[in-house]
Amino acid sequence: MLTRFFLMGLDRKAGLVLTVLALLAVLVPVMTLVVPEGSPWHLSIFSVSLLGKYLCFALLALALDLVWGYVGILSLGHAAFFALGGYAMGMYLMRQIGPRGVYGNPILPDFMVFLNWKELPWYWLGFDHFAFAALMVLVVPGVLAFAFGWFAFRSRVTGVYLSIITQALTFALLLAFFRNDMGFGGNNGLTDFKEILGYDIQAPGTRVGLFLATVAALALSYMIASGIIASKLGKVLVAIRDTESRVRFLGYDTESYKLFAWTLSACMAGVAGALYVPQVGIINPSEFAPASSIEAVIWVAVGGRGTLAGAILGAVLVNFGKSYFTGALPELWLFALGGLFVLVTLFLPKGLLGLWAQLTARLPSGKGKGAPNGKTADQKGM
Amino acid sequence: MRRAFRWLLAACVAIATTSAALAADLRPLVQTMGSGGYAGTEKALNQLSEAGDPAAVPVIEALQAGDLYVRKADGLVVIARKAGAGFALTDPLSGAVVGEAASGAIDKIKINNALRRSISATLGALTLMSPDPATRRSAAEAVFKSRDANALDTLNTAIAKEKDERIRRVMEQARAAVILTAGASEGDTQTAIATLTARGDRDALALLSMIAASGATDALKTAAAGAVAAVEQKLMFWGALQNLWYGLSLGSVLLLAAIGLAVTFGVMGVINMAHGEMVMIGAYTTFLVQQGLRTYAPGLTDLSILLALPAAFLVSGGVGVIIERSVIRWLYGRPLETLLATWGLSLALQQAVRSLFGPTNREVSAPSWMSGAFELGGLTITYGRLWIVVFAFAVFAALLVALKRTWFGLSIRAVTQNRPMANAMGIRTARVDALTFGLGSGIAGLAGVALSQIDNVSPNLGQSYIIDSFMVVVFGGVGNLWGTLVGALALGSLNKFLEPYAGAVLGKILVLIFIILFIQRRPRGLFALKGRAVEA
């Protein structure tokens, strides 16, 4: 049953994605750990973490594409779920520091000692166990998304209104996590991690292990998402995206379908955040910023809304571009990103993966003659 | 005109000569202070007191502080303060430098306790009975603060002489404060409690609670306790009113920021995420206008805000028209794509301003007629905030008139209600679209002029308002200007009333949660448009 579910989503594109991920899973460890450092084929630990970061973003984009591309819910607050997952993992990592903090307190993290707290707040209990923290990575974003979605979908808040209140949600969380008395480190957030599951977090082996975990999570999420989309459930979801009222009139309980996809997507975003934190080494409230949610939306739009592979491609490409630009031409990055938003929405409504279909569909009709050239230029500009 | 001017000149000359004459009269009196021991000083002091000239105040203050000396060589009375090995001498009346002297060359004018009492009485008399009302008032306030029992007699005389109702009230309050501190007969104390209850501010509250805790008799204690309750109630009332004012003030800022959005989002249905950047452009235009005036016409700097208003409207509106023509018109009917494209524009605009003007805050100074504050009962109202409230309502009214009473407004409403029909009636819908978007953006520019007065003019200025503005428009109901007004004022007041209990940040979070829950109850806002057309 389960195998059939996973196999159902496996078309040619899915095969390609999984092959690429498998290649990464083999090549990256070999190039980092086996190939000697002087060799041109050697991959530095820094690059591994960078790649891992891109893949975490890809997982976030995948989660977002599931709700935006297939159910039509544009979330401007997915970074909130990402950050909540990240905080759950960060809390586990904080507890692993133990007495090695600056103040040497075996129980309390440094920032609590600094704020003169006497004991661990109740919501920090249990986070010294990895299993509990891992569960919370799924549960916290999931429960928040479920509660939020339950209210929102039931009162039929749709379209732009929904987008704006998701933005309000992440903004409220941003403000909340900036407060010192919340007990999550205020604006410094959680950082200075030492080890994960007993392994030194800085060691190359651990880094590669985290990278492999990210690849595995991404592959699994991809299979789940494509399985859902290929199933009957997926058909209903797409139908809701296209005309929700008609699906409702046909007797489907559209709210429950939406709620399911929404909660699943939030859990995936939480996992992405949890994998992101140990690789980057810090989590702070700025991850909640509405701007980062909207940036995630543009990854999906660039790659191609409504194509899971496109979301992954878009996230990796845009973030690669960001790393390059902010290093080489920091002044230009926001122009490039802003331009990308405009150009993609104007000229690439289906994203890069839709480009081919767009070209072949348009050319024979003779319409919009100069357009294809413009698009190739966009592609290069990325 | 010329005659009036001549009169004015004559009056000035007259005042100048009289004050010079008075100072000349004082000099022999001051000169006698150092002779005849305590009795001589006392006599001179009494004469100074009778002369009633406030010019003598520094002399007496110096005497009180022990800084008044007689130069042995010529018997000149001087103020001497330690400077290096010797003393620096200044003239007590004019404050002019007289010279220096070794400590052996001058004699201190000594004072005893009796003299100290008459000194403070004289000082009180000179200031409390000074011909200048402001001096009298501040002297009375000073006595209220110091609660100096020595001043009581002078205070009584001053109250008897005082003609100005308001100053007499302050003096009576000062007397009440002195009486309560020093203790007096039961009847006097009761009157004093009543007077302080009428004053009803925090200082009065402190004094009254002191009496309530440690009054001489039980009757006094109860009276004081009652007074404390009355004052607390009064303070709470004014506090609530002050909160209401803060709420109105914040609400009008929100209104300013949101009202342009009410046009682009509410009327046209365009999700303009670059709205905040239009506000920012307006603020930077204000900065440029002010800089320009400072360089080329320094005399007009006070008017820069007024000149900036049309400039900001045109610049922001122009940018808006360009954006509509180049990007937004391709995206009508695709709200989510519009959202993304305008977000991209906002990033690019922010970076453009950052590259042009630098990332730091720019200084926009307030004109003189916008600085300062005045008091209304227990309220303190700053002129800057008052003008912003007035301005916000003026903009709102102007927009309402423009939409309801002009041909342009009629075309906007026609296009939003039924585009093909409007087109068929000969309205150039494309041009109306561009102009409407320009109008909304121009109003955002106007908001930028106002916000440059109360916020930092930086590239991030707009971002801090964009979420709030959307909340206001969505809360009030899209497509309804009155909804925007009510939404802005309601959210502003709610925020300010939550702040004292929850703190600024938590208050804001609570407001956001409130809006999220509110939209669940009423997905189309407070004042939703009725009818089937709104069902998307």
- The residue-averaged pLDDT of A34-38 equals 85
Q: Which residues of A fall within a CB distance of 8 Å from B515?
A: 165, 168
How far is it, in rounded angstroms, from Cα B30 to Cα B25? 9
Which chain B residues are closer than 8 Å to A176 by Cβ? 505-506, 509
Both B493 and B365 in one domain: the answer is yes
pLDDT given at position B10: 53
Within 10 A of B244 (CB to CB), how many other CB atoms are there?
A: 16
Say yes or no: B387 and B445 in one domain.
Answer: yes
Range in B108-112, B124-128, B433-437 with the lowest mean pLDDT: B124-128
Q: Looking at the structure, tell me whether residues B211 and B331 fall in a common domain.
A: no
Residue B7, pLDDT score: 58
A367, part of any domain: no
In a domain, A197, yes or no: yes
Q: Over the Cα atoms of chain A, what is R_g? A: 22
Q: Are B50 and B143 members of one domain?
A: no
Predicted confidence band of residue B277 (pLDDT cuts 50, 70, 90): very high
Residue of B280, B474, B519, B535 for testing the chain A interface, max A β-carbons within 10 Å:
B519
The answer to whether the CB atoms of A340 and B344 lie below 8 A apart is yes
B87 in contact with chain A, both atoms CB, cutoff 8 A? no
Beta bridge partners of B87: B82, B101
Decide if pLDDT at A378 tops 50: no
Structural domain count, chain B: 3
| B83, pLDDT greater than 80 | no
| Same-domain pairing of B177 and B286 | no
| Domain boundary pick from B86, B115, B144 | B115
- The pLDDT of residue A174 is above 60: yes
Say how far apart CA A19 and CA A124 lie, in whole Å. Answer: 40
pLDDT at B19: 47
The predicted-structure confidence for A86-134, as pLDDT tens digits, reads as follows 999 999 999 998 888 888 888 888 888 888 888 888 899 889 899 999 9
Structure tokens, A132: 């509990």
Distance separating alpha carbons of residues A16 and A313, to the nearest angstrom: 12
For the ranges A174-183, B261-270, B295-304, the maximum mean pLDDT occurs at A174-183
Over 90: is that where the pLDDT of A218 sits? yes
Does B335 contact A160 at a Cβ distance shorter than 8 Å?
A: yes
Listed range (A366-375, B145-154, B384-393) with the worst mean pLDDT? A366-375
Query: Tokens 């810090």 appear where?
Result: A282
pLDDT, residue A371, reads 38
* Tokens representing residue B483 in the block: 């909804």
Question: Is pLDDT of A58 > 90?
Answer: yes
* Least confident residue range of A210-214, B89-93, B245-249, B348-352: B89-93
**Do B145 and B272 fall within a single domain?**
no
Are A379 and A352 in contact, with CB atoms under 8 Å apart? yes
What is the tens place of the pLDDT at every residue in A242-292?
999 899 999 999 999 999 999 999 999 999 999 999 999 999 999 999 889
pLDDT of B197 reads 82
CB-based contact A290 B467, cutoff 8 Å? yes
pLDDT > 70? residue B507: yes
Looking at the structure, do residues B301 and B414 belong to the same domain, yes or no? yes
Stretch A226-233: mean pLDDT:
92
**Range with the largest mean pLDDT of A151-160, A162-171, B103-112, B258-267:** A162-171
- Give the torsion through C-alpha atoms of B443, B449, B451, B454, to 10 deg: -160
- Note whether B416 and B279 are same-domain residues: yes
What pLDDT is stored for residue A279 in this prediction? 94
pLDDT surpassing 90 at residue B65: no
What's the pLDDT at B3?
57
Q: Is residue B533 part of a domain?
A: no
d(CA B499, CA B497): 6
Per mean pLDDT, which of A276-290, A329-343, B46-60, B134-148 is the most reliable?
A276-290
- Mean pLDDT, rounded, for B379-399: 91
B contact test, residue of A163, A177, A335, A343 with most B CBs within 10 A: A335
Best probe of the B interface among A341, A347, A348, A382, by most B CBs < 10 A, is A341
Residue A365 lies in a domain: no
| pLDDT at residue B523, as a whole number | 76
Residue at a domain's end among B167, B184, B216 = B216
Buried b (16+ CB within 10 A) or exposed e, B484-493: bbbbbbbbbb
Is A382 within a domain?
no
| pLDDT number for residue B52 | 67
Q: Which of A6-20, A214-228, A332-346, B284-298 has the lowest mean pLDDT?
A: A6-20
Task: Confirm whether B17 is domain-assigned.
Answer: no
Average pLDDT over every residue of B466-480: 84
Residue B75 lies in a domain: yes
DSSP string, A272-317: HHHHHHHHHSEE-GGGG-HHHHHHHHHHHHHH-TT-HHHHHHHHHH
Which position has the higher pLDDT, A224 or A371? A224
Contact B280, B461 (CB under 8 A): yes
pLDDT tens track for A335-375: 988 998 899 888 888 888 888 777 777 655 444 443 333 33
Q: How many structural domains are present in chain A?
A: 1
- What tens digit of pLDDT does each residue of A176-187 get? 999 888 889 888
**pLDDT at site B4:** 55
Q: Is residue A319 part of a domain?
A: yes
pLDDT tens digits, residue range B24-33?
A: 577 777 777 7
CB-nearest partner of A294 from B343, B345, B506: B343
Residues B361, B464, single domain; the answer is: yes
**Alpha carbons A350 and A358: distance in angstroms, whole number:** 8
B147 and B72 in one domain?
A: no
Residue A9: per-residue pLDDT: 65
Is there a contact between A165 and B516 if contact means CB atoms under 8 Å apart?
yes
A105-109, B146-150, B192-196, B281-285: least confident range: B146-150
- For residue A377, being part of any structural domain is answered with no
- CATH number for the domain that contains residue A241: 1.10.3470
Residue in chain B nearest A174 by alpha carbon? B509
For the stretch B329-346, pLDDT in tens is 898 888 888 888 999 999
Residues in contact with B454: Cβ distance below 8 Å, sequence separation at least 6, in sequence order: B253, B384, B385, B388
| DSSP characters over B352-380 | HHHHHH-SS-B--PPPGGGS-EEEETTEE
Q: Tell me, what's the pLDDT at B200?
A: 77
Work out the average pLDDT over B85-102: 80
Q: Do B509 and A172 touch (CB under 8 A)?
A: yes
Q: How far is CA A245 from CA A36, A240, B499, B524, in A?
A: 61, 8, 42, 17
Residue B7 falls inside a structural domain: no
pLDDT confidence of residue A281? 92
Partners of B101 in the beta sheet?
B87
Mean pLDDT of B147-163: 78
Give the one of B331, B348, B512 whose C-beta lies nearest to A171's C-beta: B512
Could you tell me if residue B441 is inside a domain? Answer: yes
Most confident of A323-327, B439-443, B519-523: B439-443
Interface touch A159/B348, C-beta < 8 Å:
no
Give me the CATH number covering residue B429: 1.10.3470
> Å from A232 to nearest chain B CA?
26
Q: Name the residue among A296, A299, A306, A304 with its Cα closest to residue A355.
A: A304
| B110 and B143 housed in the same domain | no
How far apart are the CA of A214 and the nearest CA of chain B, in angstroms?
28
Mean pLDDT of all residues belonging to chain A: 87
| Residues belonging to chain A | 382
Let me know whether B280 and B380 are in one domain: yes
Report the range out of A54-63, B478-487, B505-514 with the highest average pLDDT.
Answer: A54-63
Tokens of B448: 């930028």
What confidence score (pLDDT) does residue A370 get? Answer: 39
| CB-based contact A346 B341, cutoff 8 Å | yes
Place of tokens 């000074």: B130
User: Which CA distances in Å does B95 have to B35, B55, B88?
Assistant: 21, 11, 12
CA B498 – CA B514 distance, rounded (Å):
12
Determine the structural domain holding residue B338 and report its residue range. 239-528
More confident residue, A147 or B467: A147
Task: Give residue A124's domain range.
Answer: 2-347
Give residue A377's pLDDT.
35
- What is d(CA B303, CA B285) in angstroms, rounded to the nearest whole number? 14
pLDDT at res. A296: 93
